[in-house]
Structure 1
Amino acid sequence: MILTYNWLKEYVDCDLSPEELAHRLTMTGLEVDSMEKIGEGLDTVIVARLQEVAAHPDADRLTVCRVDTGADVVQVVCGAKNHKTGDLVALAQVGTVLPGDFKIKKSKIRGQESYGMLCSEKELGLAEDAEGILILPADLIPGTPVFDALGLKDVRFELGLTPNRADCLSVVGVAREVAALTGKSLRLPQPLIVEDDAPITEQTSVTIEEPGMCPRYAARLIRGVQIGPSPQWIVRRLESIGLRSINNVVDVTNFVLMELGHPLHAFDFSLLRGGRILVRRAGDGEKFMTLDSQERTLNSGDLTICDAQGPVALAGIMGGENSEIRPDTVDILLESAFFNPPTIRRTSKRLGLHSESSHRFERGADVDMVPRALDRAAALIVEVAGGTLAKGAIDCYPQPIAPRKLSISAEKTSRLLGIDIDIFEIQSLLRSIALAAELAADRKEDVLYVEVPTFRPDLEREVDLIEEVARLKGYEHIPTTMPQGRILCQREPELRSLERRLRDTMVACGFNEVINYSFNSPTLLDRLGLAGDDGRRHQVRLLNPLNEEQSVLRTTLVPSLLQTVAQNLAHRSAADLRLFELRPVFLPRENEDLPEENPRLTALMCGRRSPLGWSQSGETVDFFDIKGVVEELLGHLRLQNLSWRSEVGESFYHPGKSCALYGNEQLLGNLGEIHPRVLSAFEIEQAVFLFDLDLGALSRCGLGRTEFTALSRFPGVYRDSAMLFDETVTAQQILDVVHSAKAQDMEDVVLFDVYRGKGIAGDKKSVAIRVRYRSAEKTLTDEEISKAHGRIIRSLENQLGAEIR
């Protein structure tokens, strides 16, 4: 927000210096980002009269001027064309430093000496653009500093407002804060309305089809205006804050916008087809040409201001070319309205169209300012452009918005701010910013009942009022205290500890963690080939998805990881991948609004087993690589009673190349090679191996503690045995039987070879097992080892039908 010191003083008697005012505003939350003194150091730019204007003898576009400074006559070469003999102009004398650090020196231009420079408004920092030099009023005295003669010395403030302070996006809004700081009274402009024409209701009408998007719309009709330049006082006010003057009618709407903070729009009434206004939603695909000559494609979420045939303005953002004020405009329909902030914010963001109007509406304008701003602008238009004002105003306000009512207690305010403050001081502070604060009727309660005006939509709760008390009281009055806290010894939640341990182990195994969106497309489950009755197909759908590709909450991490692999392979970023994701999936619950969040660990690997090099074979990973990673994870967790089973039941695994993991007869997860059909659906052309673990089930399985066991001082002994088993016997069954035999001093067992082929029946396989025996108390004898090993062999023979080879 940009405003000037002199403009501000029109609404409040401020006796603070500009520097002190900037400090006080900043301390109350209205941070002053910059302060610029207009005209400072430019006293050498003086009023001068052109005694003679002659053509330059050696340049067609230059003139040689004899300039009377009031004390002397000097020669100045000028390149402008809008001046003549007798005009009063702004002369920057030799030695003057103009804005932009441009120093005026004595010079010779095409052979003619020049002792200064005739300045334009742009060169003096009064406007962003200018077509010629500044021609001054004829009643000024030559030799007088220009900024003093025109009363232009001022201070320009730029405030960095937070989005919640829409009430300060106006000069009056800031003046209200200054009045609170200084204890002065706020002076609001009082428009003088003179109505001479026929009633407005006989000449036009307003209809609101979407009161939720446009709660209030008001209009006035002015006939017989004359479009032309604005008076200098309006031009100066607008140019002082960086706005360009357009014409008297448009300038008035911009002036009131900056003065009261409420946007308005003027329509050429003769261009409104049907002579009426309709506020409605736009149609999908409807085209509209805005004032910036850009054609906009609208949709049903956009609100438009229409005449009898179509849009004439994009509500709260920008008017249209088909109804703009033109040099020949005679009759004006003046609009003042209140629009729903989210509506304006969505349309402005979607179209990339930001204006002074949308900036205020999307932050929350004042619904009660609608008629006041309308009357102020109508009175000014009649003053500067002439015309007659129709009797009455149209004010469509179907469902009036009542002021919010809050309460605030002195006890809570004192406790939160850390200062003692009584209820009467709180009342005085809140009333200083126009909040109606009253004590209870019996005055027994230490509570104020506050009616919040509509220009402060940011005050929603008691703590908001307490914040207002703090900033109005002054943050410097709140004592500095050291924070106090207790150090609590809290044990890390078991699930959090599990996640941390799993992440550390996965990284140690050479995997990289990825984080995908929790939203994905429902079609991804089709690519996995999940059955129609699979519980994971019951997904939670978002009410307002960004697009269909992110319209549901994921119920499995598998498709997201496969998409990541596909993108890496497609862009040739990497072919040897080891990725994992440890994130929740979301499963709907009956009669519950929120889904169940179930954390899972899903990882995959593909490509070469080790980096390609002169000493590497380039072998690719297989099922046992991914199974080895899972075994490494489980080894760190020290889980008990684990078992592997070949029946998985997951459609996205390759048949015969997958298995499930159980702990205490509870399913913990699964792993295997991805089915070629699924790989094809994700456009992946190499084998991918994956595991998927349920962290909730893992934590319920019971994590084992890390315990130290002393190393035996005695040697270990190995016994190998090769045995024939039926093809249907699994490795897990063999290991279970070996462990159940409870052979004395058995330390470890591994299956180190499986053979099928010559010499082995087709329904049989040869499995070699190695058992290590070691005692913590003595060196085992051959007889003791043979007895223990025999116990294992007999158990395998009796329970699994094994035969010694």
Structure 2
Amino acid sequence: MIVTYNWLKEFVDCDLPPQELSHLLTMLGLEVDRMEVLGAGMDDVVVALVEERAQHPNADKLSLCKVNNGKEVLSIVCGAQNFKTGDKVALAQIGATLPGDFKIKRSKIRGEESFGMLCSEKELGLAAESAGIMILPENLTLGTPVFDALGLKDTIFEIGLTPNRADCLSVIGVAREVAAKLGKKVHYPGLEVHESGAPIETVASVTIDAPELCPRYTARYIGGCQLAPSPAWLSDRLRAAGIRSINNIVDVTNYVLLEYGHPLHAFDYRLLSGGKIIVAAAGEGERFHTLDGQERVLTSADLTIRDAEKGVALAGIMGGGNSEIGDNTTDVLLESAYFNPSAIRKTSKRLGIHTESSHRFERGTDVAGLTRALDRAAQLVAELSGGSVAKGTIDVYPQPVEPRTISARLEKINAITGLSLSAAEVEDIFQRLEFTVSQTSPGVFQVTVPLFRVDLEREIDLVEEVVRLHGFENVPTTMPNAAIYSHLPSEGQQLLSLVKNLLVGQGLSEVINYSFVAPSSCDRILLPQDDFRRCGVKLLNPLSDELSVMRTTLLPGLLETVVKNISFRTLNQRIFEMRRIYIPTEGEELPQEPIYLAALFTGSRDLEGWNQAKGGIDFYDVKGVVENILDELHVGGVSYASDELDPYFHPGKACRIVAGRTQLGSFGELHPSVQENYGIEAPVYYLEINFEKLVKARGEMGTAQVPSRFPSTFRDIAMLVPDVTAAAEIVACVKGVKAPELEGVEIFDVYKGANIAADQKSIAIRVRYGSKERTLTDEEVSELHARVLAALQKKLNVTIR
């Protein structure tokens, strides 16, 4: 928000120098980001009189002038044609520095000396464009600095407001703050609207079809207006605030916007079909041309202002090109309304339009003060254009908004702020802020907040107002009373940390990705249309379309990370993420949020080196990581199944992890189509485990067993089995032989190929026999071994080789 020192002083009696006022505003929470003095260093640009103008002897388009600066007559060469002898002009004398660091020096132009320069508004930084030099009023004193003579010396404050302080998006709003701090009264503009002619209801009507989006709409009619350039005082104020002057009617709406903080819009009444205003939602897919010449495609969520036939404005954001004020405008309908901040914010963001109006409406304007802004604008339009204001105001306000009343306690205020204020001091602060206050009991205030303070909702907000007005610098410095508590991490946190450290110890690096993904990520990992994981929670206000859905799996984020790392030539990657996913549940408002462990492996098994083994990461590297996790958490009864895999796994190169009857997760190589979708050439292996199920499946740490003093005996078995028989079935069958002397079994060879049927494979196992009490005899081992062979042949129908 930009305000000027002189404009501010029109509303509050403030004798503070600009520098002190800047500090005061900052301490009130209205931080001054920039302070600029208009006309600073421009005292060498003075009022001068053109006493003589003659043709330059050596140039057809130049003039040779004699100019009186009040002290002497100087010879000036000038190229402008819009002045004559006797005009008073702005003379930049030798030594002056104009905007843009342009220094005036004595010069010779086409053979004639020039002792200065006659300046235009553009050269003085007073206008974006100008047709010639600046012609000054005749009553100005020669030699007076131009900025002093015209009253243009001022100080501009650029205030960086937080979004909650919508009330200070106006000069009056800032003046209210200064007045409250200094204990002054605000001098509000006098409103004297001289009405004449027929009642406004005979020329215009207003209907609100969407009261939830537009609770109040008011309008005034001014007829017989004459479009003209704005007077200097108006254009100068707008220019100081960074707004270009257009014409007297449009400039008034911008001026009142800056003054009151309430946006207005002026329609060319002759372009409104039937003189009707209808506030309604746009049609789905409706196309509308805004004032900037752009065609906008609207939705049913966008609020529009319409006449009897068409849309004429995008409510609260920008008017339409089909009803704008133009050179032939004579009759004007002024709009002053209140629009739902959320609706304006969504439309503004979706269409990528940000205007002075939308900036205020989306933060919340004063629903009670919009008629004051309307009357102020009607008064100025009539004065500056010679128009006449119709009798009355159209005010459609179906459900008036009541001011909010908040309770505040003196004890609470002093406890939070560390102050020792009295009830009278607090009540005085509230009254200076224009709040209505009463005490229901000693030290208990009932505060009615005016509607322009949309940011105040709770008691703590009033506490902030008290300390803000009393002065942050007056808050005593005290040490807080705080107890220090030591909380041990919960069991779940400990297990989470345990697994993370285990993975890091195996060479994996943790990554943290966004919880949001693109809707298309489900297609890239081959999830079918009926998969429940496609029903991610959609964000109402996403960062972008590519981050608009809450993730239901960690895989897309990890793949994006791998792709990015590969683009930086990091080809060997072992990364993991342990985070929540978000799975919608039918009939529930909130999704389930289980924690998952997911990891991706790609590249070489070992770092490059002359003595390192060659080869890439494979299925069994990932299986080793899984087994280490299961062993660390003492998860027993684990088996692996290659059926019912997720579609993003490579068939035949992946499996499920099952503990008892609970599926803990899956791991294996990703489907080639997934790798192709992400542009990854090397094989990628993926591991995912439901961490919460893993924790439930964990067991107790077993007791250590004393190793036997007696030697063990090994027997090998080579057998032919059907190709579909899993190796785990063979191990389980051997362990199923109930004998304490059977100490262990392991597979040491698998063979398929020559001399073996295509539907069979050869598997070799080694069985270990032993006892803790004695050395087994050969006969005892042979008897046990025969039982193992019989079990294999009976249960699995193997052929012993």
Aligned position for 1:220 = 220
**8 A contact 2:32–2:157 mirrored in 1:** yes
**For 1:451, what is the secondary structure of its paired residue?**
strand
In 2, Cα distance between equivalents of 1:355 and 1:211? 23
In 1, Cα distance between equivalents of 2:48 and 2:521? 79
Aligned position for 1:242 = 242
Return 417-426 or 509-518, whichever deviates more: 509-518
In 2, Cα distance between equivalents of 1:73 and 1:549? 70
In 2, Cα distance between equivalents of 1:399 and 1:692? 56
**8 A contact 1:341–1:364 mirrored in 2:** yes
Alpha-carbon distance change, 236 to 666 in structure 1, aligned in 2, over 3 angstroms:
closer
In 1, Cα distance between equivalents of 2:220 and 2:109? 56
In 2, Cα distance between equivalents of 1:301 and 1:504? 50
Aligned position for 2:330 = 330
Q: Once the 2 structures are TM-superposed, how far is the Cα of residue 551 of structure 1 from its aligned partner? A: 7.2
Aligned position for 1:352 = 352
Alpha-carbon distance change, 25 to 674 in structure 1, aligned in 2, over 3 angstroms:
closer
Amino acid at match of 2:513: I
In 2, Cα distance between equivalents of 1:792 and 1:410? 89
**8 A contact 1:200–1:393 mirrored in 2:** yes
Equivalence map 1:82-481=2 (5 Å) = 82-440=82-440, 443-444=441-442, 446-481=443-478
Q: Once the 2 structures are TM-superposed, how far is the Cα of residue 114 of structure 1 from its aligned partner? A: 1.2
User: Among residues 581, 600, 603, which one is paired with 2:599 in the alignment?
Assistant: 603
Return 758-767 or 456-465, whichever deviates more: 758-767
The answer to whether the aligner puts 1:524 opposite 2:522 as a matched pair is: yes
User: Among residues 765, 768, 779, which one is paired with 2:765 in the alignment?
Assistant: 768
Q: Once the 2 structures are TM-superposed, how far is the Cα of residue 211 of structure 1 from its aligned partner? A: 1.6
Q: Once the 2 structures are TM-superposed, how far is the Cα of residue 553 of structure 1 from its aligned partner? A: 4.9
In 2, Cα distance between equivalents of 1:158 and 1:678? 53
Aligned position for 2:619 = 623
Aligned position for 2:728 = 731
Aligned position for 2:538 = 542
In 1, Cα distance between equivalents of 2:777 and 2:687? 39
**8 A contact 2:731–2:745 mirrored in 1:** no
Q: Once the 2 structures are TM-superposed, how far is the Cα of residue 311 of structure 1 from its aligned partner? A: 2.1
**For 1:321, what is the secondary structure of its paired residue?**
coil
Q: Once the 2 structures are TM-superposed, how far is the Cα of residue 608 of structure 1 from its aligned partner? A: 5.7
Amino acid at match of 1:767: A
In 1, Cα distance between equivalents of 2:782 and 2:771? 16
Q: Deviations over 1:384-438 (max 9, x none)?
A: 1112111001111122122122111111111211222233222211221111122
Amino acid at match of 2:140: L
In 2, Cα distance between equivalents of 1:684 and 1:339? 51
Q: Deviations over 1:199-244 (max 9, x none)?
A: 0101111122222222211111111111112222222322333333
The answer to whether the aligner puts 1:751 opposite 2:747 as a matched pair is: yes
**8 A contact 1:743–1:791 mirrored in 2:** no
Alpha-carbon distance change, 182 to 686 in structure 1, aligned in 2, over 3 angstroms:
closer
**8 A contact 1:743–1:788 mirrored in 2:** no
**For 2:292, what is the secondary structure of its paired residue?**
coil
Alpha-carbon distance change, 786 to 170 in structure 1, aligned in 2, over 3 angstroms:
farther
Q: Once the 2 structures are TM-superposed, how far is the Cα of residue 341 of structure 1 from its aligned partner? A: 1.4
Amino acid at match of 1:503: K
In 2, Cα distance between equivalents of 1:759 and 1:139? 119
Q: Once the 2 structures are TM-superposed, how far is the Cα of residue 173 of structure 1 from its aligned partner? A: 0.6
Q: Once the 2 structures are TM-superposed, how far is the Cα of residue 696 of structure 1 from its aligned partner? A: 0.8
Q: Once the 2 structures are TM-superposed, how far is the Cα of residue 502 of structure 1 from its aligned partner? A: 3.2
In 1, Cα distance between equivalents of 2:586 and 2:431? 51
Q: CA RMSD in A?
A: 3.8
Alpha-carbon distance change, 283 to 640 in structure 1, aligned in 2, over 3 angstroms:
closer
Percent identical residues: 48
In 1, Cα distance between equivalents of 2:78 and 2:17? 39
Aligned residues: 791
Q: Deviations over 1:461-500 (max 9, x none)?
A: 1111111111111111112234554443322233333333
Q: Once the 2 structures are TM-superposed, how far is the Cα of residue 259 of structure 1 from its aligned partner? A: 0.9
Alpha-carbon distance change, 716 to 565 in structure 1, aligned in 2, over 3 angstroms:
farther
Aligned position for 1:495 = 492
Q: Once the 2 structures are TM-superposed, how far is the Cα of residue 337 of structure 1 from its aligned partner? A: 1.3
Aligned position for 2:513 = 515
**8 A contact 1:539–1:553 mirrored in 2:** no
Q: TM-score with structure 2 length normalisation?
A: 0.88
Alpha-carbon distance change, 134 to 650 in structure 1, aligned in 2, over 3 angstroms:
same
Return 612-621 or 112-121, whichever deviates more: 612-621
Return 595-604 or 792-801, whichever deviates more: 792-801
Alpha-carbon distance change, 38 to 565 in structure 1, aligned in 2, over 3 angstroms:
closer
In 2, Cα distance between equivalents of 1:518 and 1:742? 55
**For 2:42, what is the secondary structure of its paired residue?**
coil
In 1, Cα distance between equivalents of 2:8 and 2:188? 11
**8 A contact 1:3–1:158 mirrored in 2:** yes
The answer to whether the aligner puts 1:796 opposite 2:788 as a matched pair is: yes
**8 A contact 2:200–2:393 mirrored in 1:** yes
Return 20-29 or 724-733, whichever deviates more: 724-733
Q: Once the 2 structures are TM-superposed, how far is the Cα of residue 25 of structure 1 from its aligned partner? A: 0.8
In 2, Cα distance between equivalents of 1:543 and 1:203? 46
In 2, Cα distance between equivalents of 1:6 and 1:159? 16
Amino acid at match of 1:141: T
In 2, Cα distance between equivalents of 1:589 and 1:222? 58
**For 1:597, what is the secondary structure of its paired residue?**
coil
Alpha-carbon distance change, 127 to 560 in structure 1, aligned in 2, over 3 angstroms:
closer
Q: Once the 2 structures are TM-superposed, how far is the Cα of residue 284 of structure 1 from its aligned partner? A: 3.0
Aligned position for 2:638 = 643
Amino acid at match of 2:628: E
**8 A contact 2:657–2:664 mirrored in 1:** yes
Return 331-340 or 168-177, whichever deviates more: 331-340
In 2, Cα distance between equivalents of 1:55 and 1:785? 133
In 1, Cα distance between equivalents of 2:524 and 2:295? 41
In 1, Cα distance between equivalents of 2:674 and 2:593? 26
In 2, Cα distance between equivalents of 1:709 and 1:65? 114
**For 1:767, what is the secondary structure of its paired residue?**
strand
Q: Once the 2 structures are TM-superposed, how far is the Cα of residue 260 of structure 1 from its aligned partner? A: 0.9
Q: TM-score with structure 1 length normalisation?
A: 0.88
In 2, Cα distance between equivalents of 1:244 and 1:658? 67
Q: Once the 2 structures are TM-superposed, how far is the Cα of residue 574 of structure 1 from its aligned partner? A: 7.8
Q: Deviations over 1:573-628 (max 9, x none)?
A: 78776554433233445654222211122334456656788888865554333322
Q: Once the 2 structures are TM-superposed, how far is the Cα of residue 179 of structure 1 from its aligned partner? A: 0.4
**For 2:37, what is the secondary structure of its paired residue?**
strand
Aligned position for 1:25 = 25
In 2, Cα distance between equivalents of 1:503 and 1:48? 81
Amino acid at match of 2:359: H
**For 1:214, what is the secondary structure of its paired residue?**
coil
Q: Deviations over 1:554-583 (max 9, x none)?
A: 5444576678779999x8978776554433
Structure 1 stretches of 5 or more lacking a match?
A: none
Equivalence map 1:59-74=2 (5 Å) = 59-74=59-74
Amino acid at match of 1:643: V
**For 2:593, what is the secondary structure of its paired residue?**
strand
Q: Deviations over 1:691-717 (max 9, x none)?
A: 33121111112366699999x999997
**For 2:322, what is the secondary structure of its paired residue?**
helix
**For 1:469, what is the secondary structure of its paired residue?**
helix
Alpha-carbon distance change, 587 to 5 in structure 1, aligned in 2, over 3 angstroms:
closer
**8 A contact 1:602–1:691 mirrored in 2:** yes
**8 A contact 1:522–1:552 mirrored in 2:** no
Amino acid at match of 1:700: K
**8 A contact 2:527–2:534 mirrored in 1:** no
Alpha-carbon distance change, 619 to 294 in structure 1, aligned in 2, over 3 angstroms:
same
Return 388-397 or 575-584, whichever deviates more: 575-584
Q: Once the 2 structures are TM-superposed, how far is the Cα of residue 49 of structure 1 from its aligned partner? A: 0.9
In 2, Cα distance between equivalents of 1:103 and 1:559? 61
Amino acid at match of 1:668: L
